[in-house]
Structure 1
Amino acid sequence: MEAKTLLEIKNLKKYFEISQGMFKEKINVRAVDDISFSVREGETFALVGESGCGKSTTGRTILRLTDPTDGQIVFKGKNIEKLPYNQMRALRNRMQMVFQDPYASLNPKKTIRQILMEPLRVHNKFPREERLEKINNMLKIVGLSEEHLDRYPHEFSGGQRQRIGIARAVILQPDFIIADEPVSALDVSVQSQVINLMLDLQEEFGLTYLFISHDLSVIEHMTDRVAVMYLGKIVEVADTEELFANPRHPYTQALISAVPISHPDEEKERIILTGDVPSPANPPSGCSFHTRCPFAMDICRKVEPVSKEFSNGHKANCHLYTDSENKEEKEYAINHS
């Protein structure tokens, strides 16, 4: 039986207006540009891509930490993109976030006791006499103890601070957590500990994750499905195992080729992308990836590709898999991808 859809994103856009040039002309930076995807209950869904592709902005927009320019955000069957402030604030005990920088996300003037007590107080969770017990239990679950309660964030290591950030998110017993690069600021040895902790918490509390990362080795280890973003758009979506075994989009192929080998005897052909990522304030016409794509055709420069579905929900937005007059060039590109 297929799991229910917990979160559905429909044609989401987030534009930031900036001034440019001598005459301060107003233009839009298309941080998130018309993306759609869904997250099922109990799964870990990943957003992956290079820095600046719009992953973090997508996560913050879903939680309404920044308001969307257009589109729909449907959480548990309810449209939340235009909810009034008070209603959205009340809903946030069901939707939480783990931030990238574990130090910047914790108030340096508050003890761990105060940091973990605050969400319980704000959302009026549990009777007052039970809150300290809940905090102590949560600290034990994330690998800390009661003796840490009256310490301040600067007294902990990076890994310990991220455990505190995770505890703060989970203590409200939410349905959905957005994890924004939660291990990228940590040492490799600590990364695996935090990843395993998140997987254990998911199993124990029935959590659903939106996991944002640029590290494909982490994505491969802990996610169920992956959406690949480039310049504010989603270019490919698939089950994790299917994506790594059979990447369709040239950008996805390049990202996977950059994952470090796991054994000295392993051979891998690295795909090197030339050129720079275009500006989201002035994206190229047609396919946004055509300026760096080794298989770009004339149609790529003129027409934006539509989503092509292959099997089991595997979709890619690429002209290599749609009808065009350049059949010989397409066949060569596909056979050499």
Structure 2
Amino acid sequence: MSELLLEVNGLKKYFPINGGILGWKKGEVKAVDDVSFYVKKGETLGIVGESGCGKSTTGRLLMRLIEASEGNVLFEDKEITSMSKSQLRKVRRDMQMVFQDPYASLNPRHKVEKILEEPLIVHGIGSKEERRKRVREMLEVVGLSSYHAKRYPHQFSGGQRQRIGIAKALMTKPKLIIADEPVSALDVSIQAQVLNLLKDIQKEFQLTYIFIAHDLGVVRHISDRVGVMYLGRLIELADSEELYEHPKHPYTKALLSAVPIPDPDIKREMIMIQGELPSPANPPSGCAFHTRCVECMDVCKTTRPIEQKLPSGHYVACHLYNQ
């Protein structure tokens, strides 16, 4: 647990805004803006935030599905942001992704058997019979039967399709799985089943997760540590229980105040976030949250806060905690 599996330093992704007949660059959208964190072997790091905060873009940058503007990503001490395609293909055996939409992430023209076998063919793993055996094994691991291999994706429910997506991610025996909103498209009852499945297979295969979601209740259920993103920046990071019981950043406090508590005797003060989410194409100066923060100070409007570690173990980027 003490060994680092993944380390991210100063990760940025700016998308250009083009306009005019000649397509001149008019500006840029700062989708991910100087994000740094690490992930230990065997743990689950949850990343939360409202829509548009850059959490899904961060996941895709880690897999190099899109290229970073700046920064570097180290997987098992290997720099992957500068790897060639052939080098990256070898690393991707150990890094897999589960996508949000189980309807769009599976090829509707292929049977499940071919969908699951494809990663093994791409990486040249096993003979035809060994690959078929692996397909049957992974279907059973995710709670499906071997006869499901002969069916097409449209013959399954949403929860079953997401199980197939998880099985596909497991085919190459990865060390890290990045799950991008894996249960947000599912019914609540099915969400619990899929979350429990993810926890079971993590224990069975000694997996490491990066779990991206906007549902704070879901993230608490599965994560060892949780990072909170706002407008492309990581503003707070701490152990799961510590963050949920003692949030530090005003944005995190506001998010948690809106989470329902299943106890009618407990009353919690709702913290309202004022105003609209600023555009990532024109983020506020200083602290990105200062335009909506009830505890805003003058320094917040001009100076970007530096991430610092508090005695509680929190990493937080907020001027309220400057020494």
Tell me the residue number matched to 1:261: 261
Verify: 1:32 aligned to 2:32, yes or no: yes
Contact 1:53 1:232 in 2 (8 A): yes
Please tell me whether the aligned partners of residues 20 and 27 of structure 1 are also in contact (alpha carbons under 8 angstroms): no
Q: How does 1:244-259 map to 2 (within 5 A)?
A: 244-259=244-259
Does residue 171 (structure 1) correspond to residue 138 (structure 2)? The answer is: no
Q: Tell me: CA distance 1:260–1:20, structure 2 relative to 1, closer, same or farther (3 Å).
A: farther
The 5-angstrom pairing of residues 231-242 of structure 1 reads 231-242=231-242
Q: Which residue of 1 aligns with 2:215?
A: 215
- The alpha-carbon deviation at position 314 of structure 1 amounts to 1.1
Secondary structure of 1:72's match? strand
How far is the alpha carbon of 1:89 from its aligned partner?
A: 1.9
C-alpha distance in structure 1 between counterparts of 2:46 and 2:81, whole Å: 21
Aligned equivalents of 1:109, 1:246: Cα separation in 2: 49
Aligned to 1:80: 80
Query: Where in structure 1 are there 5+ consecutive unaligned residues?
Result: 324-337
C-alpha distance in structure 2 between counterparts of 1:263 and 1:107, whole Å: 44
Question: For the residues of structure 1 that align with 2:91 and 2:80, how far apart are their CA atoms?
Answer: 9
In structure 2, how many angstroms separate the alpha carbons of the residues matched to 1:84 and 1:206? 28
Q: Distance in 2 between matches of 1:312 and 1:264?
A: 30
- Say whether 1:321 aligns with 2:303: no
User: Helix, strand or coil for the counterpart of 2:281?
Assistant: coil
**SS state of the match for residue 259, structure 1?**
coil
Q: Is the 8 A contact 2:226 2:239 kept in 1?
A: yes
Quote the Cα distance in structure 1 between the aligned partners of 2:80 and 2:313: 26
- Using the TM superposition, give the Cα deviation of residue 307 of structure 1 relative to its aligned residue in structure 2, in angstroms: 1.5
The CA distance in 1 between the partners of 2:184 and 2:100, in whole Å, is 7
Per mean C-alpha deviation after superposition, the further-off stretch among 264-273 and 45-54 is 264-273
Give the Cα separation in 2 of the matches to 1:174 and 1:298.
Answer: 48
* Alignment partners' CA distance in 1, 2:19 and 2:262: 46
Q: For the residues of structure 2 that align with 1:28 and 1:166, how far apart are their CA atoms?
A: 35
Partner of 2:132, secondary structure, is helix
Name the CA distance, whole Å, in 1 between partners of 2:171 and 2:82. Answer: 27
For the residues of structure 2 that align with 1:19 and 1:124, how far apart are their CA atoms? 41
What letter is aligned with 2:286? G
Q: CA RMSD in A?
A: 1.4
Alignment of 1:10-49 (within 5 A): 10-19=9-18, 25-49=25-49
Query: Once the 2 structures are TM-superposed, how far is the Cα of residue 265 of structure 1 from its aligned partner?
Result: 2.5
Shift of 1:20: 5.0
Q: Which amino acid aligns with 1:276?
A: E
User: Is residue 8 from structure 1 mapped to residue 7 from structure 2 by the alignment?
Assistant: yes
Change in 2 beyond 3 A, CA 1:25/1:174 = closer
1:189 is paired with a residue whose SS is helix
SS at match of 2:116: helix
1:278 matched to 2:281? The reply is no
Amino acid at match of 2:211: F
The structure-2 alpha-carbon separation of the partners of 1:312 and 1:38, relative to structure 1 and needing over 3 Å to count, comes to farther
Shift of 1:189: 0.1
- Structure 1 runs (4+) deviating above 6 angstroms are none
DSSP-derived class of the 1:149 partner: helix
* Mapped contact 2:18–2:24 kept (Cα < 8 A): yes
CA distance in 1, matches of 2:124, 2:132: 13
Task: Give yes or no for contact 2:16–2:25 (8 Å, CA) kept in 1.
Answer: no
Supply the AA of the counterpart residue of 2:221. Answer: H
Name the amino acid aligned to 1:306: I
- Aligned-pair distance for 1:312? 5.4
Secondary structure at the counterpart of residue 290 of structure 1: coil
CA–CA distance in 1 between the matches of 2:105 and 2:51?
Answer: 20
Q: Report how far residue 166 of structure 1 moved.
A: 0.2
Contact 1:6–1:40 (CA<8 Å) still a contact in 2?
Answer: yes
Deviation for aligned residue 1:264: 2.5
Normalised TM-score (structure 1)? 0.93
What TM-score results when the alignment is normalised by the length of structure 2?
Answer: 0.97
Shift of 1:71: 0.4
Q: Which amino acid aligns with 1:49?
A: G
Secondary structure of 2:130's partner? Answer: helix
Q: 2:225 aligns to what?
A: 225
Match of 1:332 in 2: none
- How far apart are 1:127 and its partner, in Å? 3.0
CA drift at 1:14: 0.5
Q: CA–CA distance in 1 between the matches of 2:126 and 2:247?
A: 47
Count of equivalent residues = 322
- Per the alignment, residue 198 of structure 2 pairs with 198
